[in-house]
Amino acid sequence: MKFTFAPEARPLDGYTIKRAIHRGGFGEVYYALSDAGKEVALKLLNNNLEVELRGVRQCLNLKHTNLVTIFDIREDGDNDHWVVMEYVGGPGLYETLQGYPEGMPLNEVLAWLTGMTAGLSFLHDRGIVHRDLKPANVFRDQGQVKIGDVGLSKYISESRRSAQTQSVGTVYYMAPEVARGRYGREVDVYAMGIMLYEMLTGNVPFDGQTTAEILMKHLTAEPDLSVLPQKLRPVIMGALEKDPDQRISTVEELENKFRAAVSGENASIPVTLPRTKTERAAAAESVSSPRATQRPERSPVLEDTVISDAPPSSPKTALAAAAALWNSIPQSLQFVIGGAIALLIIEADMLRPLAVGGIIGGAAFLGYQMLRMVTENVEKKKNENEQVVKAAGVAPPPPPPPAGVSPQPSVQPKRERFRRARKNKPTPQSPRTFTPATLRSIPAGYRVTDLFSSLSLSLIAVSLVTVAVFYTTDMLGNMTHAVYFAAVTMLASWAVIVPSKLWEGRSADGFARRLVMATIGIGVGLVAGELPKFLLVDQQDLFRGAMATPPVAFGRVVLSDGSGNPTTASLMLFFAVLFAARRWWWQADSFRSSRFRVTSALLTLLIGMAITGALQEVTFPDALGATWALALSAVVQLSSGWTPHADRQKLAEEQQQVADKPHEEPVDVAVEAANA
pLDDT at 246: 92
CA dist., res. 200 & res. 205, Å (int)? 11
pLDDT at 146: 92
Q: Give the closest residue to 153 by CA, choosing from 167, 137, 163, 173.
A: 167
pLDDT at 662: 58
Model confidence over 456-512: pLDDT tens digits? 999 999 999 999 888 887 778 788 888 999 999 999 999 999 999 999 988 777 889
Distances (CA, A) of 292 to 188, 208, 416, 418: 22, 10, 19, 20
Q: Say which DSSP state 308 is in.
A: -
CA dist., res. 579 & res. 574, Å (int)? 9
CB atoms within 10 A of CB 655: 19
pLDDT at 470: 86
205 three-state secondary structure: coil
Model confidence over 40-79: pLDDT tens digits? 999 888 765 665 666 677 777 678 899 988 888 888 888 8
Q: Give the closest residue to 266 by CA, choosing from 226, 229, 233.
A: 229
DSSP string, 525-551: HHHHHHHHHHHT--HHHHTTTPPP---
pLDDT at 374: 67
Sign of CA dihedral 505, 252, 113, 190: negative
Kindly give, in sequence order, each residue whose CB lies less than 8 Å from that of residue 632, ignoring residues fewer than 6 positions away: 489, 492, 493, 496, 578, 604
pLDDT at 589: 92
Mean pLDDT by 10 residues, the chain (676 residues): 84 91 78 92 75 68 86 85 88 90 91 94 87 88 86 38 41 85 85 95 90 87 91 94 92 94 65 50 44 40 35 44 62 62 56 55 59 64 56 46 45 44 44 75 89 92 90 82 91 95 85 93 92 77 62 75 77 93 92 86 88 78 83 92 85 79 49 47
CA dist., res. 191 & res. 239, Å (int)? 8
Kindly give, in sequence order, each residue whose CB lies less than 8 Å from that of residue 536, ignoring residues fewer than 6 positions away: 480
Q: Give the closest residue to 136 by CA, choosing from 111, 172, 184.
A: 172
Distances (CA, A) of 76 to 54, 70, 122, 278, 525: 18, 17, 32, 62, 51
Q: Give the closest residue to 629 by CA, choosing from 318, 361, 371.
A: 361
Angle between the N-to-C axes of helices 510-535 and 479-503, in degrees from 0 to 180, rounded to the nearest 10: 160
Kindly give, in sequence order, each residue whose CB lies less than 8 Å from that of residue 514, ignoring residues fewer than 6 positions away: 580, 583
97 three-state secondary structure: helix
Sign of CA dihedral 616, 619, 622, 626: negative
CA dist., res. 469 & res. 632, Å (int)? 13
Bridge partners of 601? none
CA dist., res. 213 & res. 163, Å (int)? 9
pLDDT at 456: 92
The type of residue at 512 is A
CA dist., res. 327 & res. 655, Å (int)? 41
CA dist., res. 455 & res. 599, Å (int)? 23
Kindly give, in sequence order, each residue whose CB lies less than 8 Å from that of residue 139, ignoring residues fewer than 6 positions away: 68, 88, 90, 91, 92, 93, 145, 146, 147, 148
CA dist., res. 531 & res. 537, Å (int)? 9
Domains of the chain, earliest start first: 15-86 (3.30.200.20), 93-287 (1.10.510.10), 444-657 (no CATH)
